[in-house]
Amino acid sequence: MKRLLVAIIFSVFTTQLSLAQQQQFANLGDFKLQSGEILRDCRIGYRTGGQMNADKSNILVIPTWAGGKTEQWLPNVGPGKMADTSKYYVILIDALSNGVSSSPSNSTAQPRMKFPKITMRDMVDTEHELLTRILHINHVKAFLGISMGGEQTFQWMVEYPDFLDKAIPIVGTPRPAPFDLVHHQAQIDVIEDNKDWNGGDYTKNPARDAEYEFGAILLKTPSEFNKTHTREQVMKQLAARNSGGGSDANDKIRQVEAIMSLNVAAAFSDSLEKAAAAVKAKVLVIVGKEDHTVTPGPAIEFAHLLHADLKVIDDGCGHQYCDNAGVQKAVAEFLAK
């Protein structure tokens, strides 16, 4: 009987947890972008987990990485995990153009390339609208993000300095380095030069082979990639790369354009020093020493200007770092300060 009762309690708890983390949507209506264009029927996806304190002092917000969806964050959400729901009320947010929130692939009012260009500030502004107008949250304990999520975190700490106590950008940048801009533009070019592109009105999602290839080249260091892949495995993956999969090409273009637009110093006469002076949050910057996707120089420079805590991951793995335990430990210790 006791075992049955424990099983029932556990079942109820896990069901409540899974329900809390189910996909939800906020309808923001027509949303004015930085360009002055209107994003019609703007919708933002999000998930929540954990229990909010009565004084709302334990809120942790996590936006998605490039092409990522909040569903992919769920393995890192829960008691004892990076997004520790035994301590924090966790809000995961689907960034614009990820195929869940408003995107070229799912907009009926502005489908495909009729979907207006967006910036990193637009992503952050829609997230601010979600938190303040829909969820009635005006201050949070921390923002945390990986890659493009880290870039949104940099934008948040500069654009809304009174909104957050702490910020943890992981393998992100306050503005792309020259090398980053080149490979971002190359990914757009390879889509638009593809025979199936047709101005975005394609019937076959173009250049998905190139997406695999860019990922292989950029996300891991050559030494780590060669360590974890055989020649036979790579040849098999290259042969199968035209079979589909990967993100929608139009969605990818709009997100890459947003990444390329990022410059937290834009409103400060292009001065990172002035942008850093506007930041009020305590900051932990985490970078990868051998990151080829988001080169670490600008984030390290900004961390020094902020007098922030800085962790340099030196595990030889690159953007998709291998030292998950070390990063989780650094995050937990910083949030607990």
Q: Is the pLDDT of residue 289 over 70?
A: yes
The answer for residues whose C-beta is within 8 angstroms of residue 253's C-beta and 6 or more apart is 104, 113, 188, 191, 192, 200
25 close to 126: Cβ distance less than 8 angstroms: no
Distance CA 96, CA 119 (A): 10
Burial of residue 337 (CB within 10 Å: 0-12, 13-18, 19+) is exposed
Listed range (97-106, 244-253, 262-271) with the worst mean pLDDT: 244-253
HEC per residue, 279-335: CCCEEEEEEECCCCCCCCHHHHHHHHHHCCEEEEECCCCCCCCCCHHHHHHHHHHHH
User: Which pair of structure tokens corresponds to residue 20?
Assistant: 């809390």
pLDDT value at position 242? 58
Query: Residue 238: which pLDDT band, with cuts at 50, 70 and 90?
Result: confident
Q: List pLDDT tens digits, range 124-139.
A: 999 999 999 999 999 9
pLDDT value at position 144? 97
221 close to 290: Cβ distance less than 8 angstroms: yes
User: Which pair of structure tokens corresponds to residue 34?
Assistant: 């930085």
Based on its alpha-carbon atoms, the radius of gyration of the chain, rounded to whole angstroms, reads 20
Q: Is the pLDDT of residue 3 over 50?
A: no
pLDDT value at position 12? 38
pLDDT value at position 10? 40
**pLDDT (average), residues 267-293:** 97
pTM: 0.91
Q: Which of 285, 337, 329, 276 is nearest to 311 (CA)?
A: 285
247 close to 67: Cβ distance less than 8 angstroms: yes
Phi and psi for 174 in degrees, rounded to 5? -75, -20
Q: List pLDDT tens digits, range 8-34.
A: 334 434 434 444 579 999 999 999 999
Q: Is the pLDDT of residue 5 over 50?
A: no
Query: Residue 208: which pLDDT band, with cuts at 50, 70 and 90?
Result: confident
- Any idea which fold 2-179+253-336 has? Rossmann fold (3.40.50)
295 close to 177: Cβ distance less than 8 angstroms: yes
Beta sheet of 140-146, edge-to-edge order: 24-32, 38-49, 89-93, 59-63, 140-146, 164-170, 282-288, 309-313
**pLDDT (average), residues 250-266:** 97
288 close to 319: Cβ distance less than 8 angstroms: yes
Alpha helices (H) in 98-230, listed in sequence order: 120-129, 148-159, 178-192, 208-218, 222-228
Instruction: Convert 256-268 to b/e letters by CB count within 10 Å (16 or more is b).
Output: bbbbbbbbbbbeb
Q: List pLDDT tens digits, range 141-178.
A: 999 999 999 999 999 999 999 999 999 999 999 999 99
To the nearest whole number, what is the mean pLDDT of the chain?
A: 92
The answer for residues whose C-beta is within 8 angstroms of residue 130's C-beta and 6 or more apart is 26, 28, 44, 46, 93
Q: Is the pLDDT of residue 223 over 60?
A: yes
pLDDT value at position 17? 46
Q: List pLDDT tens digits, range 31-58.
A: 999 999 999 999 999 999 999 999 999 9
The answer for residues whose C-beta is within 8 angstroms of residue 240's C-beta and 6 or more apart is none
Would you list the domain boundaries of the chain? 2-179+253-336, 180-252
Q: What are the C-alpha distances in Å from 222 to residues 172, 217, 306, 334?
A: 20, 7, 32, 31
**pLDDT (average), residues 329-335:** 96
pLDDT value at position 19? 45
Distance CA 334, CA 337 (A): 5
**CA 298 to mean position of chain CA atoms:** 18
Q: Is the pLDDT of residue 285 over 50?
A: yes
